[in-house]
Amino acid sequence: MAIFEGAGVALITPFKENGDVNYDKLAEILEDQIAGGTDSIVICGTTGESSTMTHEEHIDVIRFTCQRVAGRIPVIAGTGSNSTAEAIHLSQEAERAGADGLLLVTPYYNKATQNGLIAHYKAVAASVKVPILLYHIPGRTGVTMAPSTIVTLCREVPNIVGVKEASGNISGIATMMSMADGCVDLYSGNDSEIVPMLSLGGKGVISVLSNVAPRQTHDICQYYFDGDVKKSAQMQLEAIPLINALFCEVNPIPVKAAMNLMGMEVGPMRMPLTEMEPQNQEKLAAAMRAYGIL
């Protein structure tokens, strides 16, 4: 059984002006997401600026999220690293904190071989019992997982159950799903590709858009599951201008700017990310108004 089906939010991490994690605001955002129909919380991923967190902060945010959500929907914790030992440590701590699943990005910078990727993921998976999603995003990591590598891991390792696919390579993803014969739970990692991924047998999306439009993102998936593919596709296409605006600068700069424009007061980015350029913020605000969320 899949960890979740539908729209999981790749949640931002709210910070105070001094850079500390704003736990009061995080609690508020979690409640808003659950009330908005989000199907899963994905915490401490790329959108959550986990790469700027200390290990202690990373684990504390996961623990806080699990306690606050309290089993109402699944919590998936980002625990990937380019160091296998560090990924094992974070994964074990997330499991102890109560995470329902883990999201493990491909090791970045090292440029491991396909055999190295398999060895890395098998080592992390052996250290925990909770289900794991691979995270394939070569644009950020510089590493491409072959379709056969993803299928091998999902077939041979019981608690590696699927992949968040953000490669944008629909042909490669189709090849992978044809090889998988049902052993890979596929999630779109790109908000612009939710319906295409669902059409290939996907379970849903891990979404940046959900931070500002949780109900709409959930509904794109739900209409598809309910058999109303035309409505699902229509909603997907209507969201494209906003999705493009949310990625006109590197994620999560635009989505945090969008949330602040909505009055959610999620605070600043941590360096080296900086505030959104004024001309891009104007484009973002226009797209939000056109979509009806501002």
Q: Distance between CA 52 and CA 160 in Å, rounded?
A: 26
- Bridge-partner residues for 134, per DSSP? 104, 163
Q: Is 135 a catalytic residue?
A: yes
Phi, psi of 16 (to 5 degrees): -80, 170
Instruction: Identify the active-site residue in 121, 135, 187, 223.
Output: 135
Name the residue among 228, 139, 152 with its Cα closest to residue 190.
Answer: 139
Q: Distance between CA 195 and CA 201 in Å, rounded?
A: 10
Question: Helix H segments across 98-205?
Answer: 114-126, 138-141, 147-156, 170-180, 194-199
The answer for 26, left when phi > 0, alpha when psi is -120 to 50, beta otherwise, is: alpha
Instruction: Identify the active-site residue in 164, 187, 203, 223.
Output: 164
Q: Distance between CA 149 and CA 151 in Å, rounded?
A: 5
Question: Helix H segments across 158-248?
Answer: 170-180, 194-199, 214-225, 229-246
Active site residues: 135, 164
